[in-house]
Amino acid sequence: MSNIDNIIQGVAILGSLNDQTRKILNKEATAFLALLHRAFNGTRKDLLKRREIRQAELDKGILPDFLPETRHIRENDAWKGAPPAPGLVDRRVEITGPTDRKMVVNALNANVWTYMADFEDSSAPTWDNMVNGQVNLYDAIRRQVDFKQGEKEYKLRTDRTLPTLIARSRGWHLEEKHFSVDGEPISGSLFDFGLYFFHNAKKLVENGTGPYFYLPKMESHLEARLWNDVFNLAQDYIGMRRGTIRGTVLIETIMAAFEMDEIIYELRDHSAGLNCGRWDYIFSVIKKFRQNPNFVLPDRSAVTMTVPFMDAYVRLLIRTCHRRGVHAMGGMAAQIPIKDDKKANDAAMTNVYEDKLREVRAGHDGTWVAHPALAAIASEVFNKHMPTPNQMFRRREDVRVTGNDLLNMNMPGTVTEEGIRKNLNIGLGYMEGWLRGVGCVPINYLMEDAATAEVSRSQLWQWCKHSITTAEGKKVDKAYAQKLLKEQADELASKAPNGNKYHLAAQYFSGQVTGEDYADFLTSLLYNEITSTPHPGSEITATRSLAAEPGATGRTGTFNESAMKLNNRLVGGHDLGLKANFCAAAPGELKVGTDEEKGEKEKRGVKRGWEEKGWEENEWEENEWEENEWEEKGWEEKGWEEKEWEEKGWEEKGWEEKGRIEMRRKEIEREEEEERGKGGEETRNGKEEKEFRADEGQENESTQTGLAARKSFSTQDCQQGDTRK
């Protein structure tokens, strides 16, 4: 057995693969992921436990401060971060967005300097979104991403150098449950980083740039140290010079704000600077101090970048970065054009201009936009006020920021019922989209992502917890919050297409806005709804290929960890799409590959569903996804039941027809009995079942998440002229 085969022992891929995704999750890449997991997952979990301990201290009223044990790092002027890498010297306008194929093409065609391809807050981490995103970036880096949708062609432009690509992986707290190593799900961070780096690092260098990353959600310099260790191992593994990777850290937690110097120091050979993640930062302030009545904030609209704690955060970040010779990146302009109201659009674009003007005057080296139409505005501002590639020479030595400045919550503003309803609308709207597999959702002409949804639910929790009285004189309590939540959910659901998930979103949101339960992250709370793998103890319906042949179907039943171990043994657990090609799609969702499979999908209306005919072509309203029989006949009638799943059972129709798996199952059970002393009656308990029992005839709505829609953010308004200087 080769070394690669040894490494991938214990790896289980629980998501469906097709020909394109198999090239991404080949044996070599999977072995690399397994190495990363085994090397770093223990440290990752220890650091997450450290967050919990620190939260307990905050709940007791112990406020953060600059660390005394790292004073020598902060006070030493001699050390610097790495000089800007190729393609990262000038970053004045960066566009951000998810990694669906249309977005990748449009973002790389936009008049910007870099494109942050996002596996995090603007992507819902369905298995399809994550692995197809890797395919899309792989193809884009090799200029083979062009495609045709209907009559429209999407091609990368050839009239100029494309924007530098920067990938953002998921945060340390998220896992990728479709890929496990030794019985543990891999970190989403390591999965995203590992696949992108392994396949593209050398090609990116060949193209004249390099493997560059945005690093989100960190709360301490020790978490940055972990990333640095990951970078070093990865570069050593493929024979790349250390320091080739560059990482820009999003300072989007209040805890990280007290450790900016230390974070750059830990990453210094790989540092590409820091970024002001403004909405996540506000979320973090509320989250961390949610038990403290002194940190209650007014309506979200009142928490601007000029309030004391936000202004201090920006000034400290710019001073710290320029003192260390790295970029200080500004925040997001989330506005999108208002095409049917010129007056409102002009006002929105004026706000964007003023926001970017504030950033460049403060000393930022670049800024973010969510829509190509805003790139021209941001470019105009930065070109006029920053004629140099960056302004690291502006040392901002006049800035003095204390711990009290970072914690100064004094600001004008009140809590209003309008503010409560806006938060409910944003939270419900984003969660509903996320449950359909959409990670960025336009709401009231703003492109909302996970960060703004987190602000919304955290403010609602905080106001209810501390019994805030609104400007209208109404006390915010559980009953009031639940009443408004129901009203907003009903209103939104009534206006949305049939089959929307607003009421499911409201069920989850209900427990998060009453000042009682508080999930660490909304994305963690909702994750099981969009995974196509079963989780221990849950009743699920999914297709799972346990046998050798790709495309074999599974069965319905109760999943438990022992069954997972048995399944892994049946297939060897590591042949990666050859023998161990696990398939966890929704019922009837055949894996794409053969013409027969493609024809079956098209016949059932899956291939031509609303994912392709709906939002991406702006035909949601005109054509409706019911047009493709989703509602009229339903997947229950047109899908796997049509193939006699219920009538004849998967045992008769599937790969057990030849008896191979059943024989192997019996061999395993016999071996286990012999190990226990031969013939001893097997003990059962709630945690260790040895069977994967089929509950034939049971329907489970959770499987519909396997067919969750993915909405691409259309960037058709991209100007073709190059405004770069």
Please identify every residue annotated as catalytic. Answer: 168, 449
Structure tokens at 661: 């798996």
- In 387-500, which ranges are E strands? 441-443, 446-448
Instruction: Count the neighbouring beta carbons within 10 Å of the beta carbon of residue 436.
Output: 26
Question: What is the sign, positive or negative, of the torsion defined by CA atoms of 122, 126, 130, 136?
Answer: negative
Q: What share of the chain is helix, strand, coil (3-state, %, to 5)?
A: 50, 10, 40
Contact 505, 489 (CB under 8 A): yes
Contact 421, 443 (CB under 8 A): no
Structure tokens at 212: 């560059």
| Per-residue b or e along 140-150, where b marks 16 or more CB atoms closer than 10 Å to that residue's CB | bbeeebeeeee
The owner of tokens 């024809």 is 599
Structure tokens at 336: 């999108």
Q: Taking Cα atoms as reference points, which of 431, 372, 558 lies closest to residue 124?
A: 431
Pairing mode, strands 93-97 and 114-118: parallel
Cross-strand pairs, 251:
276
Contacts of 634 (CB under 8 A, 6+ apart): none
Instruction: Count the neighbouring beta carbons within 10 Å of the beta carbon of residue 296.
Output: 17
Structure tokens at 293: 């009545």
- The DSSP letter of residue 276 is E
Q: Taking Cα atoms as reference points, which of 214, 205, 239, 234 lies closest to residue 29?
A: 234
In order of 170, 426, 468, 476, 703, the CA distances from 217 in angstroms are 8, 21, 29, 30, 30
Alpha carbons within 13 A on the beta-carbon side of 203 = 13
DSSP 340-353: T-HHHHHHHHHHHH
Question: What does the alpha-carbon distance between residue 247 and residue 249 come to, in Å, rounded to a whole number?
Answer: 6
Question: What does the alpha-carbon distance between residue 288 and residue 453 come to, in Å, rounded to a whole number?
Answer: 16
